[in-house]
Chain A
Amino acid sequence: MSDPFLKVRGLTAAFTTRGRDVQVLNGLDFDMAAGEAIGIVGESGSGKSVTARALMQLAPEGSSIRLGGSVTFQGQDLLQYSERQMQTLRGSQIAMVFQDPMTSLNPTMTVGAQIDDMLRRHKGLSARPARDRTVELLERVGIHNARRRADDHPHQFSGGMRQRVMIAMAISCDPALLIADEPTTALDVTVQAQILRLLLQLREDLGMALMLITHDFGVIAGMVERVMVMYRGDIVETGPVERIFDAPEHLYTRALLAAVPRLDAPEAKP
């Protein structure tokens, strides 16, 4: 067991659109320890979301993504996996929380059924035990009257509540790694704090590794131990979160930190 929990070496990703290749990841190297929380920070288009999709091997509908390098997860090279093997791994070993809870849930299914189907797929549960577990999960993420609410449709939930449902779904099969891709970007600030607290709590309770992807330095402070800063498909800087905040080495990291709005900035004073 000399392999770390997650070892990424020379990870490249290229999209093929209209016959042309566009390289979006230029060979990433990073490791993650079991149960570790890392943050990936960068501006739009820096490749942070593609990194997450590359780990899950999920291409957007209608396009194809070509991956290179190696992704060794718990000793297995995922890039050698067949699509069928990846389907078994997605959701059960690596789960993901997406950016926009308003569009991430199927509007024609009850929220309960959308967690049930995952439990039935990966845990082999039948209808009734799956629903019991779903209710448990919904309670755990702070949804009251979970038994009754499980039969409601997504449009009957607020944005924050929907993101809680998404989180319940993501942790439902006890994944070893949870990827949260901008989980709070679409929510208002007070709800953001609640969702982040929930993620922190769950990570402590379940001991899963957390990869938090955001463009907002404010979100990762207090959430993760280590930060990777991405820019144009490269990791430009990596280190403990305090160090990155106190003494950023890379010019881009400094620029990114300077972009965080500050309450005590001179312009903000009346």
Chain B
Amino acid sequence: MTRLVLIRFALAVPILLGVSVAAFALMRLLPGDFAQAAAGSANVSTEMLEKVRRDLGLDQPIWVQYLAWLGDALRGDFGTSFVTRRPVTSEIGGRLGVTFELTALAALMAMVMGGLTGLASARFRGHTDWIVRLWNGLMLAIPNFVVGTLIVLLAGLYFPQIRIFYFVPFTEDPLGSIGSLLLPAFALSLAVSVTVSENTRAAVLEVASQDFVMVARAKGLRPRTVLRNYLVRNALTPVITVTGLQIAQLLGGSILIETIFAIPGMGQYLFDSITSRDYPVIQAIVLTTAAVVVLVNVLVDIAYIRADARVEG
């Protein structure tokens, strides 16, 4: 088990290096750079632009810039923002935390809602199955920013007593913070929860037809023991796979949801940074997000081992 986790972490190194190269190069492939973006439509002399570039080190060959940045990044220093002139770490630190809180909350909601509706759909069949599958189909078809906008709109119209646009930082009041993110997390989790739901339903139906479930009933075990130890435990593995893949999607989806609900996460900030070509900020955000996705995948692998003894550690 420890060995497998170590191997997974070791594999993360080349992945993250690749991500860093891509993030670095792709940004510089975009037309224009920070100097031009900052100048905007104002008439600035070429000398001025050159001076700004020289100050920021943008006149160096790209691989020199990359190695210098990588060296600093390995020591935990992601440079200074071109725009604010403040260290990137302190600029994005708090914002990333908010985004991860929102994503984690949405992931948890998606797992609980998806798992329960999928299980109910497979066990009760009939009308429950119909309703769940109709809902799943509908929610799969509607992008989550539309759902988010609808929630804001409908809540504003019919439940004006509910506060929507407010945010409490986690460090100030953890419970209040989670409370302030419930609606956006719900909007974010819907698309993922229906995927989890459909997969749970399929997995439970598949497991229910296995011989060992019949054996468990022939043993005279109580229905809830059969459900917990025989059905759900065996249906977990495929559901874990799908959930792990979906969490990466949540991180992407959170950018739009943050914009809709005016949450001070990295979504809006990333968008602004791309517009102003603030390279250090973009690179730091891309790399941290990639690191989180890799981490989630390692966690998924650990979950496999816990759920199924046949996966050797």
Query: Are A and B genuine complex partners?
Result: yes
Contact surface of B with A, Cβ cutoff 8 Å = 125, 208-223, 225, 229-230, 233-234, 307-310
User: Contact between A58 and B210 (Cβ–Cβ < 8 Å)?
Assistant: no
A234 at the interface (CB under 8 A from B): no
User: Contact between A107 and B310 (Cβ–Cβ < 8 Å)?
Assistant: yes
Q: How far is the CA of A8 from the CA of B79 in the complex (A)?
A: 85
Which of B211, B220, B225 is the most central at the interface, judged by chain A CB atoms within 10 Å of its CB? B220
Which of A91, A153, A169 is the most central at the interface, judged by chain B CB atoms within 10 Å of its CB? A91
Q: How far is the CA of A117 from the CA of B221 in the complex (A)?
A: 8
User: Contact between B211 and A98 (Cβ–Cβ < 8 Å)?
Assistant: yes
User: Contact between A61 and B220 (Cβ–Cβ < 8 Å)?
Assistant: no
Which of B208, B210, B214, B307 is the most central at the interface, judged by chain A CB atoms within 10 Å of its CB? B214
A144 at the interface (CB under 8 A from B): no
Residue on A with the closest CB to B212?
A106
Q: How far is the CA of A245 from the CA of B308 in the complex (A)?
A: 48
A118 at the interface (CB under 8 A from B): yes
Min CB distance A122 to B, Å, is 6
* Chain B residues near A121 (CB-CB < 8 A): 219-222, 225
Min CB distance B160 to A, Å, is 48
User: Contact between A104 and B220 (Cβ–Cβ < 8 Å)?
Assistant: no
User: Contact between B218 and A91 (Cβ–Cβ < 8 Å)?
Assistant: yes
Contact surface of A with B, Cβ cutoff 8 Å = 56, 58, 60-62, 87-92, 95-96, 98, 100, 103-110, 117-118, 121-122, 153, 155, 166, 169
Which of A103, A117, A155 is the most central at the interface, judged by chain B CB atoms within 10 Å of its CB? A117
Q: How far is the CA of A107 from the CA of B212 in the complex (A)?
A: 9
A-B pairs, top 10 by smallest CB distance, nearest first, are A91-B220, A90-B220, A103-B211, A91-B219, A153-B309, A61-B208, A106-B212, A96-B218, A108-B233, A118-B219
Q: How far is the CA of A104 from the CA of B219 in the complex (A)?
A: 12
Q: How far is the CA of A107 from the CA of B213 in the complex (A)?
A: 11
User: Contact between B208 and A62 (Cβ–Cβ < 8 Å)?
Assistant: yes
Min CB distance B91 to A, Å, is 46
Q: How far is the CA of A96 from the CA of B309 in the complex (A)?
A: 26
Given A153-B309, A155-B310: A58 touches B220 (CB 8 Å cut-off): no
CB < 8 Å: which of A60, A87, A91 contacts B214?
A: A60
* Chain A residues near B219 (CB-CB < 8 A): 90-91, 95, 117-118, 121, 169
* Chain B residues near A96 (CB-CB < 8 A): 215, 218
User: Contact between A100 and B211 (Cβ–Cβ < 8 Å)?
Assistant: yes
Q: How far is the CA of A30 from the CA of B218 in the complex (A)?
A: 22
Task: List 12 additional contacts besides A61-B208, A61-B214; criterion CB under 8 Å.
Answer: A61-B209, A61-B213, A90-B217, A96-B215, A103-B210, A104-B212, A106-B212, A106-B215, A108-B307, A117-B221, A121-B222, A153-B309
Q: How far is the CA of A202 from the CA of B198 in the complex (A)?
A: 46
User: Contact between A108 and B234 (Cβ–Cβ < 8 Å)?
Assistant: yes
* Chain B residues near A56 (CB-CB < 8 A): 218
Residue on B with the closest CB to A109?
B229
Min CB distance B254 to A, Å, is 33
* Chain A residues near B225 (CB-CB < 8 A): 117, 121
User: Contact between A122 and B220 (Cβ–Cβ < 8 Å)?
Assistant: yes
User: Contact between B229 and A117 (Cβ–Cβ < 8 Å)?
Assistant: yes
Min CB distance A176 to B, Å, is 14
CB < 8 Å: which of B209, B222, B229 contacts A106?
A: B229
Residue on B with the closest CB to A181?
B218
Q: List 8 A-B contacts (CB under 8 A).
A: A58-B218, A61-B213, A62-B208, A87-B220, A95-B219, A104-B212, A107-B308, A118-B221
Q: How far is the CA of A153 from the CA of B305 in the complex (A)?
A: 13
Min CB distance A118 to B, Å, is 5
Q: How far is the CA of A60 from the CA of B218 in the complex (A)?
A: 11
User: Contact between A105 and B215 (Cβ–Cβ < 8 Å)?
Assistant: yes
CB < 8 Å: which of B125, B212, B222, B310 contacts A103?
A: B212
Q: How far is the CA of A51 from the CA of B234 in the complex (A)?
A: 29
Which of A61, A87, A92, A106 is the most central at the interface, judged by chain B CB atoms within 10 Å of its CB? A106
Q: How far is the CA of A118 from the CA of B219 in the complex (A)?
A: 6
Q: How far is the CA of A128 from the CA of B229 in the complex (A)?
A: 19
Q: How far is the CA of A100 from the CA of B215 in the complex (A)?
A: 11
Min CB distance A147 to B, Å, is 18
Min CB distance B169 to A, Å, is 41
Q: How far is the CA of A109 from the CA of B213 in the complex (A)?
A: 12
User: Contact between A87 and B222 (Cβ–Cβ < 8 Å)?
Assistant: yes
